[in-house]
Structure 1
Amino acid sequence: MASINQAAWLDAIGQPLRVGSADMPKAREGEIVVRNRAIAINPVSWKAQDTGVTVQKWPVLLEYDIAGEVYEVGVGVDNSRKGDRVVACVEGPMNPDSRHGAFQLYCVAKTATVAKIPDNVAFTEACVLPIAFNTAVVSLCAPPGKGFGLPSPSLHPTQSGKTIVVWGASSSVGVLTLQLARAAGIKAIGVSSAQNFGLCTSCGAVEMLDYHEPSIVQDVVRTVRAVGGSFVGILDCVSIPNQSLKFCIPVLEHLGGGELGVLHPDVQPEVSNKITITHIFGMNEITHAFWKDYITPALEQGELKCLPEALVVGKGLESLQKALDVLRKGVSAKKVVVEL
């Protein structure tokens, strides 16, 4: 009996998701079809529902982060077989072809951003990784202008002598950046709320600071100097002018300048010529090598953890609207996930 696909469509800005039929995708050259078992939700998806950001064509299927089983393999694919348990970063609404949207039972993934997951890693755990992993890799490893140009993470890291600050360290991108920095021999100082210090330290932060403290700017400056190494800059995983940026920019000024990585393309803070603003975009070919050679063995060896912890808010496509609503209200040190 042929499988039937269904999807949670967003028909227009401000509309609730509509669960309905969808064409059954076919795998083309270099692609696989995945039977989705878990989908993680990122802030960009509720923003797309509210404003239309990233949407190329209506109606649209949102999201990028999936985990499931390989259902079909296209021509030229040699790293996946039918039945494999995989995690993948799909192209979502940035591709006008709805085959690539995550909000459906079956979707297409390009094999350059697919990795097998060990049997002891649940689908709901694995799906927290993809876009945050990509963003962390680009932040650290992409050349100047797109990232910080730092050494690549390795299963056998050596100390790089580099030091960075990760602001919003308990966020999805933050905890992945901490893990990958540790795997690249980079000293990462984290900034978050105090309740999330344990999580961030377990991910590799060498020091943690509480952004609620009135002295946070001076605290970060002092800690960077105490930790030592060659200071590179700050990855701001929050990237909101009246929240994180009002602290990150003075920190860099006190330290004599450096890189400021921001995650929102529309944020254009005014800074002195001592500070270089880098807009981080996670969809970058530099990530492909890490999907091919790093994710699976790092998961198997416990060097890469599926963090932050999944907050499963429901099961089935009908739960995706609830997931958007939960994330819109805000979560701390969790990744909102729906199981299928």
Structure 2
Amino acid sequence: MSPQQKALFLLQKQGDFEIGTRSIPSPGAGQLLVKVQSAALNPVDYKIKETGGFITHYPAVLGADIAGIVEEVGEGVENFRKGDRVLAHGNFTNELAAYQQYTLTIASFTAKIPPSVSFDSAATVPLGLDTAVVGLYGEKFGAGITPPWTKSLGELKTPIVVLGGSSSVGSYTIQLARLSGFYPIITTASPSNEDLVRDFGATHFFDRNLSGKQLTAAIREVTDSPIGLVYDAISLPETQAIGWELLAKNGTLVLTLPPSVKEDEGKGRKAFQTMGNPHVPENKELGRNSWAQVEKWLSEGTIQPNNYEILPNGLEGIIGGLERIRLGQVSGTKLVAHPQETQ
């Protein structure tokens, strides 16, 4: 019998979560077996529970944000070895999900964790960073900007507005915008998170409670340049409406949820939902290239992980954590669970 591990299962479509056991998988070609030390929570997980999206087979293990220790290396993997500390982006299959004690990862979407970064910090990176990467640089699911690792860094002198800059996706978008040379980098957040978003690289901060007209007027005080790119990391109907109002002719509104604004051919503005999953065919090449930068970015402090809060009771704590996220009780912080502490 295969060795067993504890996992958090979503028992059925729109069903309940429950701790159970499943076999520890073996890595195939191009894969790693990772002992999960830290797994971060994301809003997509409670949305999967509510809607049944993304998942076809139950009981299902969820979770995209993985940090842990390499236990076994699959065939053809040359840049990792047993004992390496790594972070990785999981996927919507039980073998590749975060909410269990051992998981497989795809080596192309795995990076070593620098000594200066903890498992908990590293676990806050994968999905948030990939969603920012694809939204900015993706050809199909993004604005198609040239990635900073393919050209010498210079000043774009092009403004960008990031709505929801203290969110996980917003914070990584600000940091990548800085890396890409955008200026000014304008963001909205709660006043209590102003220092946080400025640390990430925002040059101008505005209260998220400003109306579209107020924000437009405030931004005009900052720059005369037209706003060609708005990244709405919140993407509720009200923030989408504000982002749409800010956009110049032929501008692009990047969203993390489906568009509620209507595209207008006359002005040529477009709005679309990004998809921060490097495993889908359209994102694989971009994902491989960006993941090749992750260890360096973290080591140099170019990308700073999110602030985090550790949940108690191992995998069991994820259930209440996802409910807190659903109720809007988490701000500027990622919730992180320790699967090895599951009773």
Q: Is the 8 A contact 1:209 1:220 kept in 2?
A: no
Aligned to 2:318, which of 310, 320, 334? 320
Judged with a 3 Å threshold, the aligned counterparts in structure 2 of structure 1 residues 224 and 105 are, in CA distance, closer, same or farther, namely: farther
CA shift digits 1:182-220 (9 cap, x unpaired): 111112211112111111111011111112124x43433
Give 1:238 deviation, angstroms. 1.1
| Distance of 2:235 and 2:86 partners within structure 1 | 31
1:1-340 map, 5 Å = 4-91=4-91, 93=92, 95=93, 98-143=94-139, 145-154=140-149, 157-187=153-183, 188-214=185-211, 216-220=212-216, 222-223=218-219, 226-228=222-224, 231-241=227-237, 243-252=238-247, 255-264=248-257, 266-273=258-265, 274=267, 275-283=269-277, 284-285=283-284, 286-292=286-292, 294-307=293-306, 309-330=307-328, 331-340=330-339
Give 1:3 deviation, angstroms. 5.2
Greater shift after overlay, 166-175 or 223-232? 223-232
Q: Is the 8 A contact 1:86 1:116 kept in 2?
A: yes
| Distance of 1:51 and 1:238 partners within structure 2 | 19
2:253 counterpart letter in structure 1? L
SS at match of 1:289: helix
Judged with a 3 Å threshold, the aligned counterparts in structure 2 of structure 1 residues 108 and 190 are, in CA distance, closer, same or farther, namely: same
SS at match of 1:22: strand
Q: Is the 8 A contact 1:134 1:287 kept in 2?
A: yes
SS at match of 2:296: helix
| Distance of 1:231 and 1:50 partners within structure 2 | 35
Q: Is the 8 A contact 1:221 1:251 kept in 2?
A: no
2:207 counterpart letter in structure 1? D
Aligned CA RMSD, in angstroms, stands at 1.9
Q: Is the 8 A contact 1:12 1:58 kept in 2?
A: yes
SS at match of 2:228: strand
1:141 counterpart letter in structure 2? Y
Give the length in aligned residue pairs. 327
SS at match of 2:143: coil
Q: Is the 8 A contact 2:229 2:252 kept in 1?
A: yes
2:154 counterpart letter in structure 1? T
Q: Which runs of 5+ in 2 are unaligned?
A: 278-282
Give 1:116 deviation, angstroms. 0.4
Identity of aligned residues (%): 30
Judged with a 3 Å threshold, the aligned counterparts in structure 2 of structure 1 residues 132 and 175 are, in CA distance, closer, same or farther, namely: same
Greater shift after overlay, 294-303 or 267-276? 267-276
Q: Which runs of 5+ in 1 are unaligned?
A: none
| Distance of 2:78 and 2:19 partners within structure 1 | 34
Judged with a 3 Å threshold, the aligned counterparts in structure 2 of structure 1 residues 287 and 220 are, in CA distance, closer, same or farther, namely: farther
